[in-house]
Chains A and B, each alone.
Chain A
Amino acid sequence: MSAVIENHHDDHHHGPAKGLTRWLYTTNHKDIGTLYLWFSFAMFLIGGAMALVIRAELFQPGMQIVEPEFYNQMITLHGLIMIFGGVMPAFVGLANWLVPMMIGAPDMALPRMNNLSFWILPFAFFILLSSLFMEGGAPNFGWTFYAPLSTTYAPPSVTFFIFSVHIMGASSIMGAINVVVTIMNMRAPGVTLMKMPLFVWSWLITAYLLIAVMPVLAGAVTMMLMDIHFGTSFFNAAGGGDPVLFQHIFWFFGHPEVYIMILPAFGIVSHIIETFSRKQLFGYSSMVWAMLSIAILSFVVWAHHMFTVGLPLAAELFFMWATMLIAVPTGVKVFNWVATMFKGSLTFETPMLFAIAFVVLFTIGGLSGLMLAIVPADFQYHDTYFVVAHFHYVLVPGAIFSIMAAVYYWIPKWSGNMYDERLGKLHFWLSFIGVNVTFFPQHFIGLAGMPRRYPDYALQFADWNMVSSVGAFLFGVSQILFLFIVVKTVMGGKKATDQVWEGARGLEWTVASPAPYHTFTTPPKVD
């Protein structure tokens, strides 16, 4: 008996277990971070393949490849998979890897819950994707699943969709609680709140947003479930319910959700710009306050997604002004990044290229967001490709570029090897061109009058749709190169130093590369 205990004791100190069980049973924040990152990459490819089905159909007017019914399933699953399977788990993966190392903690505060929150995710997406093979097809009501299209008029698979969203929600809430508890309790002595790296700050705020709004989403889908199976009429006008209520609830979740997908990006980009400018961030405290302001404002702007539902004038005015106000803290962040680069000593390694592209293209997405806030103009923009262009500009060269930047920036620390700089730059340029060729023309298509979620379109939209589709395939194919670069780096390559980057600062750069399986088992000393 005692031998068994000793054996266990030894394992704990020697590093990871062998084989598949290492990944199934792991409670190590680095292992779980890796699982999250690979999972999100797999989802990114699946969601991306769906985007390519969409763009292939839209390459020319007329129905060529899919039926409208299947097209609607593709737009729905593309959105759900990219948001809940691609972007969110990637950020959770980064948080797992980085938060403990950045605050000098040995691991996440709740390691077993950490394991659980990851391992329920594959089931959620297995259920969601299996709906493609069910009678009646997959969910086809858009990722925003407005009732009653998603209730009375939904295919039978909607029940599986609801279950899957519940699991994703539970996973996110557990992940968020873990981040909050870790940051609040496990900072090394001397790491005060206002000394925390910005990525940690951004995740602390994100985690609170998640805890606040994921239960609201769970409430929305539960009400749908009740309407569908248990005879209630929350969203059914014929039974005295209110279809607009659904939208209020959904967007009360949905708008903070947008910031959940961008705040961690703010943190990442701040670190990268600082490092490759070899200069201290211009305004640390104003960055923290800007993120807090954005997070708080995100709770009072939800109805700007609903300007055309027939809100009273007073509500339209309030939500317009509140939304415009978000431009102020967002501007502060952009100005800070520019001021940090100003008079720095800049080099342009791959992470920096992605970070700079992030600042430029995210700003373009932010500016089109400001245009969308103007209610009378929104009557023309709403639900057109202008909106599609806007949110893809903040999500693809925004959130996703920041994730790619983060991978290039920290992969030497994770794997101990430098990535191939030449290939990294090639990947950047292909992605950068692909993203812009795909999404910039969508501004034109939208302003000229093409609604979103259309499987077919009038002839005046043909030219730019074709350009957009070409760009999408370029962007899609480039991501295979990304996969290749990451695999190549993990397999071998030039050994990374501990600090990796000349300008890098922070606790994670003080440990060896690759980071040992257990770091900071005794807290570091921080002044």
Chain B
Amino acid sequence: MSLKYFHNLHLKIFSALFVFASPMHADWFALNMTRGVTDISNEVFELHMLIFWICVVIGVVVFSVMFYSMYAHTKKKNPVAASFHENHKLEIAWTIVPFLILIAMAVPASKTLVKIYDDEAGDVNIQVTGYQWKWQYNYLEDDISFFSNLSTDMDEINNLVPKGEHYLQEVDEMVVIPAGKKVRFLITANDVIHSWWMPAFAIKQDAIPGFVNTAWTKVDKPGVYRGKCTELCGKNHGFMPIVVKVVEQEEYNQWVDEKKQAAIKMAELTTKDWTAQELVERGESVYAVNCVACHQTNGQGIPGIFPALAGSDIVMNQKDKNIEILMEGVQGAAMNSFSYLSEVELAAVITYTRQSWGNAENGDGEIVVPKDIVDYKKPKI
């Protein structure tokens, strides 16, 4: 199956004409909810189809009577209208019958809902935190923590290069969970409300600052599953996908070990002696992931909403204030605390902004090293 996208309108229309002959363009058949891969998602799908068909039957019955009237009771065929009105038996029937149908729908729906509402701890418990515009995953048992960002190239979004198969549905780091185990997600947010949706698991839970919502799943089939943010959360709401990779237990254990090793390596980096050049290089990528959405590539921000970093006095001359803003955020503004980034990342990104866009030439040009961040974090007496 190819999801190749045609830029050319003629080709597009051409392909539309031959759609049913060609299996190449399966997206015309993306018409219905999918079953998903868990027991719950299957139950939800069955429920959806049950209600769908009940609605179809109701619609067909009602519209048939109506269309029959439109055909048989025109003024031409029936010049004098009947005069009946109000029939208590009929009126009671069309009140009671729908009521009974509704009960028939409510019973299975309620049963499934009770199953979904199980907030017992899982074998693996992952805290999911929504940020503008990325997801953070904390594995509570293993002390693993990372961010998951959209990895689709901006050039694909801006139509400069062809779009890949997983356009807007790919991330730099997937959530990895073990197959056959109960995994519980504890979902919250850091700034505005987001919503964590994984259609294949039939999970959609809002991520709300100050609240922790729970959802759980047990996936037997290893694979890569793709979901999205479903609560409007600002500019890049459409650009913070979710990708979950389900692997066998053994592979999962291996992944956990690797992540722990990487964390140790990161700690070593903090104590290393950094040059400005190294920090700027590393900082550029941190900036591209965390800052560019608001402050823009050229550091100019967006007038009236996001302040410019280029030429900012704080960025040029006030090193301590600069660190403080990244660590604490700005009260009452969209600038949040970025204290969740590593010391290396923070030092690198601050140094990058202090060295770019002419800031070094116009300001004091001082760099920030990871140790500065460590010092900032020490309790102040």
A111 within 8 A of B: no
Which one, B27-35, B277-285, B345-353, B357-365, is touching chain A?
B27-35
**Interface residue A142 (Cβ < 8 Å from any Cβ of B):** yes
CB neighbours (8 Å) of B23 from chain A are none
Residues of B within 8 A of A60 (CB): 5, 7
Determine which of B48, B112, B232 lies in contact with A146 in the assembled complex, contact meaning CB atoms within 8 Å: B232
A360 x B113 contact (CB < 8 A): no
**Contact: B167 with A382, CB < 8 Å?**
no
Given A142-B232, A370-B55, A456-B168: A344 in contact with B303 (beta carbons within 8 A): no
Are A136 and B304 CB-contacts (below 8 A) given A345-B75, A457-B238?
Answer: yes
Q: Do A447 and B231 have beta carbons less than 8 Å apart? A: no
**Interface stretch among A94-102, A316-324, A430-438?**
A316-324
* Contacting pair A360 B202 (CB below 8 A): no
Contact status B202-A379, CB under 8 Å: yes
Minimum CB–CB distance for B2 against chain A, Å: 10
Q: Which residues of A contact B211 (CB under 8 A)?
A: 237, 243-244, 310
Binary interface profile of B, 230-243, with partner A (CB < 8 Å = 1, else 0)?
A: 11111111110000
A332 within 8 A of B: yes
A61 adjacent to chain B (CB < 8 Å): yes
Within 8 A of B (CB), among A305-358: 308-310, 313, 316-317, 320-321, 324-325, 327-328, 331-332, 334-335, 338-339, 341-348, 356
**Does A68 touch B at the CB level, under 8 Å?**
yes
Q: Are A280 and B85 in contact (CB under 8 A)?
A: yes
Least Cβ–Cβ distance between A372 and chain B, in angstroms: 10
| In the complex with contacts A345-B75, A444-B31, A327-B110 CB distance below 8 A | no
A134 to B305, CA, bound (A): 11
Q: Let me know if B141 is at the binding interface, CB within 8 A.
A: no
Inter-chain contacts of B339 with A (CB < 8 A): none
B261 contacts the other chain (Cβ, under 8 Å)? no
* Contact indicator B69/A278 (Cβ below 8 Å): no
User: Is B204 within 8 A of A335, CB to CB?
Assistant: no
List chain B residues, Cβ under 8 A from A380.
Answer: 33, 44, 48, 199, 202, 204
A283 to B163, CA, bound (A): 58
Contacting residues, chain A, for B343 (C-beta < 8 A): none
Stretch binding the partner chain, chosen from B152-160, B252-260, B371-379: B152-160
Q: Give Cα A284–Cα B3 distance, bound, in whole angstroms.
A: 55
Q: A459-B163, A463-B27 are in contact. Are A242 and B203 (CB under 8 A)?
A: no
Interface positions of B from 48 to 84, Cβ below 8 Å from A: 48, 51-52, 55, 58-59, 62-63, 65-66, 69-70, 73-75, 78-84
Give the chain B neighbours of A123 by CB distance below 8 A. Answer: none
Set B51, B95, B302: member contacting A69, Cβ < 8 A: B302
Asked whether, in the complex, the Cβ of B208 is within 8 Å of the Cβ of A316, the reply is no
Q: Which residues of B contact A110 (CB under 8 A)?
A: none
Mark out the residues of chain B between 95 and 109 whose CB falls within 8 Å of any chain A CB in the assembled complex. Answer: 95, 98-99, 102, 105-106, 109
Complex formed: what's the CA distance from A328 to B93 in Å?
11
Would you give the 0/1 interface string for B142-171, flagging 1 where the beta carbon is closer than 8 Å to chain A?
000000000000001111000101111100
CA gap between A326 and B84 in the complex, in Å: 27
Q: Which residue from A332, A344, A376 sits with its C-beta under 8 Å from B44?
A: A376
Interface residue A248 (Cβ < 8 Å from any Cβ of B): no
Cβ-closest chain A residue relative to B334 = A153
Nearest-CB distance from B282 to chain A (Å)? 28
- Taken together as a complex, chains A and B put the C-alpha atoms of A363 and B58 apart, in Å, by 10
* Contact status B230-A382, CB under 8 Å: yes
A383 partner, pick from B117, B192, B230, beta carbons under 8 A: B230
Identify A463's interface contact among B16, B85, B204, CB under 8 A.
B16
CB of B51 within 8 A of CB of A374, answer yes
Residues of B within 8 A of A309 (CB): 206, 208, 213
Question: At the interface, yes or no: A148 with Cβ under 8 Å from chain B?
Answer: yes
| Minimum C-beta distance from B360 to chain A (A) | 29
Task: Tell me if A156 is interfacial: C-beta within 8 Å of chain B.
Answer: yes
B30, B40, B209, B302 interface centre (most CB from chain A within 10 Å): B30
* Interface membership of A281, Cβ < 8 A: yes
Q: Are B43 and A62 in contact (CB under 8 A)?
A: no
- The A144-180 residues at the B interface (CB cut-off 8 A) are 146, 148-149, 152-153, 155-156
CB closest residue in chain A, given B99 = A328
Answer whether residue B321 sits at the interface, using C-beta atoms and an 8 A cutoff. no
- Alpha-carbon distance A368/B56, docked complex (angstroms): 10
A371 to B351, CA, bound (A): 54
B159 touching A62, Cβ below 8 Å: yes
A-B contacts, CB under 8 A, total: 308
Q: A308-B206, A449-B199 are in contact. Are A360 and B33 (CB under 8 A)?
A: no
Q: Which residue of B lies closest to A374 (CB)?
A: B109
Supposing A243-B193, A341-B73, A377-B48 touch, asked if A328 and B208 sit within 8 A by C-beta, the answer is no
The residue that B204 contacts in the complex, of A61, A341, A382, with Cβ under 8 A, is: A382
The answer to the question of A462 belonging to the interface, with a C-beta cut-off of 8 Å to chain B, is yes
Do the beta carbons of B51 and A453 come within 8 Å of each other?
Answer: no
Q: Give the Cβ gap from B67 to chain A, nearest Cβ, in Å.
A: 9
Question: Closest approach, in angstroms, between the C-beta of B270 and any C-beta of chain A?
Answer: 29
Asked if A367 is at the interface (CB within 8 A of a chain B CB), the reply is: yes
Let me know if A141 is at the binding interface, CB within 8 A. Answer: yes
Give B80's nearest chain A residue, CB to CB.
Answer: A345
Whole-angstrom distance from the CB of B289 to the nearest CB of chain A? 17
- Cα–Cα distance between A463 and B19 once the two chains are bound (Å): 10
CB distance from A264 to the nearest CB of B (A): 22
Q: Is B116 an interface residue (CB 8 A)?
A: yes
Instruction: Note all chain B residues with C-beta closer than 8 A to A321.
Output: 106
User: A344 is contacted by which of B16, B73, B195 (Cβ under 8 Å)?
Assistant: B73
Residues of B at under 8 Å CB distance from A?
3, 5, 7, 12, 16, 19, 25-28, 30-34, 40, 43-44, 47-48, 51-52, 55, 58-59, 62-63, 65-66, 69-70, 73-75, 78-86, 90-91, 94-95, 98-99, 102, 105-106, 109-110, 112-114, 116-117, 132, 156-159, 163, 165-169, 191-193, 195, 197, 199, 202-206, 208-211, 213-214, 228-239, 302-305, 332-334
Instruction: List the 5 shortest-distance A-B pairs measured between CB atoms, nearest first.
Output: A237-B210, A135-B304, A136-B304, A310-B213, A454-B238
A residues contacting B by CB (< 8 A) are 60-64, 68-69, 72, 134-137, 140-142, 146, 148-149, 152-153, 155-156, 237-238, 241-244, 277-286, 308-310, 313, 316-317, 320-321, 324-325, 327-328, 331-332, 334-335, 338-339, 341-348, 356, 359-360, 363-364, 367-368, 370-371, 374-377, 379-380, 382-384, 444-445, 447-449, 451-464, 466
